[in-house]
Amino acid sequence: MRNYKITLQYDGTRYDGWQKQGNTANTIQGKLEQILSRMAGCTVEVHGAGRTDAGVHAEGQVANFHLESQRDCREIQRYLNHYLPEDIEVTAIEEVPKRFHSRLQASGKIYVYRIAVGGAKHVFERRQLWAVEEPLDVEAMRRAAGILEGRHDFKSFCANKRMKKSTVRTLQRISIEELPGELRLVFQGDGFLYHMVRILTGTLLEVGKGVYGPGYMEEILAGCSRELAGPCVPARGLCLRQVYY
């Protein structure tokens, strides 16, 4: 059995997210397993590094799978890309040590949330941005982001209320880039809780709109309660940019 690591891009708009759910075949994992199982003639299980939600995109998702195969990497990549729909692409493939696991061994991930501002529509990229009408105080957002960076209990930013495992994570960086007609929030961390990036974004946007001041971030973190943080923004603006090891 060989272990293959693949890097993927996908436009998540049409899908029910990464993870296979019961008999829902309309997931990225489901599509990959279906094609690989047909190729191999037996059930192949694919492990993804990030369980992206329905509608979330990826520029650099990583996954791995074990396979008894004589085919070389390029052949498997070509086979996958041939049968995958046009909104999913395997951009890289390599053989890795047998014990490599894309999720368990990831040391961190970079997520990007793209916001259309100033009325810009981004007609060609509209499915990858979420539009915010209100003017935003970017400097206040940056101050709030600075408070959120670091090692904290992010329980207030976790949508899973029954989460039993630790909700402590390290956010190495939240950078806020101002581009023409766009505000781009980049989150780099060692791990992310359920809906964490979208709740962080929703909270930073509330700061940008002046609903609360940057200093309120300390209260949210200390309070450890989902009710304290801002709303969860839509999936469409979110993209898993990179997984690193």
* Shortest distance in whole angstroms from residue 131 CB to a copy of itself: 9
Smallest separation, CB 42 to a copy of itself (Å): 26
Two tokens at 137?
């105080």
The smaller minimum CB distance to a copy of itself, of residues 12 and 230, is found at 12
Active centre residues (catalytic): 53
Which span sits near a copy of itself by CB under 8 A: 19-27, 83-91, 140-148, 191-199? 83-91
89 vs 206 by CB, closer to a copy of itself:
89
Residues 6+ apart with CB under 8 A from 179: none
Instruction: Considering only the stretches 8-16, 29-37, 157-165, 192-200, report the one whose residues sit in contact with a copy of itself under the rule CB under 8 A.
Output: 8-16
Q: Is 1 in the site for a copy of itself (CB under 8 A)?
A: no
Closest contact distance (angstroms) between CB of 12 and a copy of itself is: 10
Are the C-beta atoms of residues 18 and 27 closer than 8 Å to each other?
A: yes
CA distances to 64, 131, 132, 235 from 120, rounded to whole Å, are 38, 8, 10, 19
Q: Is the C-alpha dihedral spanning 127, 217, 231, 243 positive or negative?
A: positive
The DSSP code for 153 is: E
Q: Is 111 annotated among the ligand-binding residues?
A: yes
207, 140, 194, 145: which is closest to 174 by C-alpha? 145
Shorter beta-carbon distance to a copy of itself: residue 38 or 78:
78
Q: DSSP character for 112? A: E
**Nearest alpha carbon to residue 228 among 164, 124, 137, 155:** 155
Smallest separation, CB 128 to a copy of itself (Å):
6
Count of residues engaged in binding a copy of itself, rule: CB under 8 A: 19
DSSP string covering 171-192: EEEEEEEEETTEEEEEEEES--
Of 85-144, which residues contact a copy of itself (CB under 8 A)? 86-89, 119-126, 128
Residues near a copy of itself (CB under 8 A) = 9-11, 57, 78, 81, 86-89, 119-126, 128
| Binding residue ranges for substrate | 111
